[in-house]
Amino acid sequence: MYYLTKILPQVADTNMCGHVDCLAFARWCDRARAALYEELFPGFRFLPHGLVVVNVKTDYLRETFLDDRIEVRTWTSRIGEKSFELTQEVWRTRDDDPTPARCSVSVSVFCAIDFNVHKSEPLGERFREILRKYQWDPEESRS
């Protein structure tokens, strides 16, 4: 199942007309991943074994505004030997339309790395257990 992070847009996320800039979506997704980072790296101790982002793809589906209520849904969509993929969706609700609307979909690929030798390494079993807790397929949920 996905985990949920609620975010209130800030003025700094917008242009002067209250329209949220696309870069805010990346910051929101990063903020939503913090809970996973802390679970993978207790106390945020990333060294000597850590993660690097090797790819991010975002599709923007709807615009958002300063007065929207934002939720970021995050789940593990793939676990490989040395890497894994997280999918994140940004959803909004509004006072004039309380039906949630999906605004973006981001897929990020992370690679496990040993910073001592600056090389990728296999994901450890503890990492895999944590990532499996958040594995989810939205298509299976809809059927």
Domains along the chain with CATH numbers: 3-142 (3.10.129.10)
Q: Letter for the amino acid at 60? A: Y
Per-residue model confidence as pLDDT tens digits over 21-43: 999 999 999 999 999 999 999 99
Tens-binned pLDDT, residue by residue, of the chain (143 aa): 889 999 999 999 998 888 999 999 999 999 999 999 999 999 988 888 899 999 999 999 999 999 999 999 999 999 999 999 999 999 999 988 889 999 999 999 999 999 999 999 999 999 999 999 999 888 776 54
Backbone dihedral region for residue 34 (phi beyond 0: left; psi -120 to 50: alpha; all else: beta):
alpha
**Cα 63 from chain centroid?**
18
Q: Are 124 and 50 in contact (CB under 8 A)?
A: no
* Tokens 């600056």 sit on residue: 118
Q: Provide the pLDDT for residue 119.
A: 95
Sign of CA dihedral 38, 140, 92, 51: positive
The whole-model pTM stands at 0.91
